[in-house]
Chains A and B, each alone.
Chain A
C-alpha cells in the first residue's frame, strides 16, 4: 500500500496548510462579521419632539386620508379598502370598525403603522389606537369614547414596548380637513398628538444625604 504522506512534496504540504489556514480565517472572518455588522438595521427618522409647557415631551403624527389607509374594516362598503377585501359578516364584528394606516411624522414622512379600532358592543364604546414604529417600539392607547369640545378625543397610554415601555402619557386624535384647493390633495388628515411623561422614580434620600 503506498504511503501517501511520504509522497507529498513540501509544496503540496504547504498548499494543504494554506487551504486549512483559509478555512480557519474564513470561519473567523465570518464570525467577526456576524458579530460586528448588524444583521438588521432599521431606517430611522429623527424624532420631532417639543417640550410641553407643563412638563413632558410632545410629538405630533399625522395620517393622510385616504392615501395612508391600508385597511378599513366594516362590511358592506361600496369601495372596500383594500380593493378585494372580504370582510366577514359575523356577529362578533358587527359594530366594529377596524382600520390600519401608515403613520407620518410632523414632516410628513412615513415612520410607522397604526391600528384604530372603534367598537360598540352591549352599550360599551371602545376606541383604541396602537402605533408601531419599527425602530422605536409600540404604544397602546385607550381613548375616551366621547369627543371633547373642539372635536378631539383624548386617551391615556395603556402599555408600550421598547422606547415606550417606561413612558406614560396621553394622546389626542382630531380630524383636520384639508382647506387647500390643490389638485390631488388628501381630503384631510388625522392628527395624533402624543404627550410623553417619563416614569416617576422616587429619590433615594439616604443616598442624597451621604453625597
Chain B
C-alpha cells in the first residue's frame, strides 16, 4: 500500500512540476519591445481602456472573468461562441482625444500549445476613426507572459490581486516578428494592407474581477509615402 501511495504522490508532484515548468518556461522569449516602436514610418496610435466598466460594452459567456458590462448585455452562451468575448470601446489618439470606435472580438484558439509557451487567443478588431477610416485587424495574441507575470501572481496572493507595472506586446502573429495584419476599408487607409501591433499596460489586476487598471494600445504603421515615389522611379 505504501508503495502505491509513494507512486501516486510522485505522479502528483511530477504533474505539478510540469505545470510550474509550463508557466515559468525558461525557453520562451517574451516580446516586450514592439517591432513598430523602432519604425521610422508614420504610425497611427489608438489607445483604449482594458477595464470592462470603462468600455461601452463587454460581453462573454457570463461565467468567465470579468463579468459582462453593462449587466444586462446579451451574453455569448451558445456553444460555438462560448469561448469568445467581445468589447466595444472608444478609441483615443496619442493626445488622449477621442478618435473613434473600436470593437474587439477574441476567441480562445485551438492553436494554443502550452508546452511551447503559447496560450493563444485569435482576435480581430474593427476600428472606425473618421480621421483615418475603417480598419480590420486580425491577429493572434499570446497571453502566457501575462499569465506568468500578472494573473498567476494575482491568483497566488492572499488578496487575489496584483499591483505593479507590466507592459507587454500581445500580438504574436500572423506576421513574422509578431505583427498583426491590418486591412483598410475606407478613408485614407482604404485599400491599404498595413502592419499593426497591440500592446498592453497593466497596473492592477484582480483574479476575481479581471483588469482593474489597464490600458491597451494599437499601433498601425502607415506606408512611407516615399515608397511610391521610388516605385515610379524604378518603373
Contact = CB atoms under 8 A, between A and B. Distances in A.
B17 A27 contact: yes
Contacts of B19: 30
B13 A23 contact: yes
A52 to B, nearest CB: 24
Given A22-B9, A82-B72, A96-B128, A142 B185 contact: yes
B7 interface: yes
Given A21-B7, A96-B101, A31 B136 contact: no
B105 A40 contact: no
A110 B81 contact: yes
B9 A113 contact: no
Contacts of B128: 96, 98, 117, 119, 126, 128
A40 B136 contact: no
Secondary structure of the B contact surface, majority rule: mixed
A87 interface: yes
A82 B98 contact: no
Could you say which interface size class chain B belongs to?
A: 35 or more
Contacts of B17: 23, 26-27
A123 interface: no
Contacts of A100: 57, 86, 88, 103
Contacts of A45: 80
A23 to B, nearest CB: 4
A110 B78 contact: yes
B88 A40 contact: no
Contact of B186 (A15, A39, A98, A142): A142
13 contacts: A19-B9, A25-B10, A43-B79, A70-B59, A83-B70, A92-B101, A92-B129, A96-B101, A98-B88, A102-B78, A113-B76, A130-B126, A134-B84
Given A31-B115, A40-B83, A130-B103, 10 more contacts: A21-B10, A22-B10, A24-B10, A85-B70, A90-B90, A92-B100, A102-B78, A112-B81, A113-B76, A159-B138
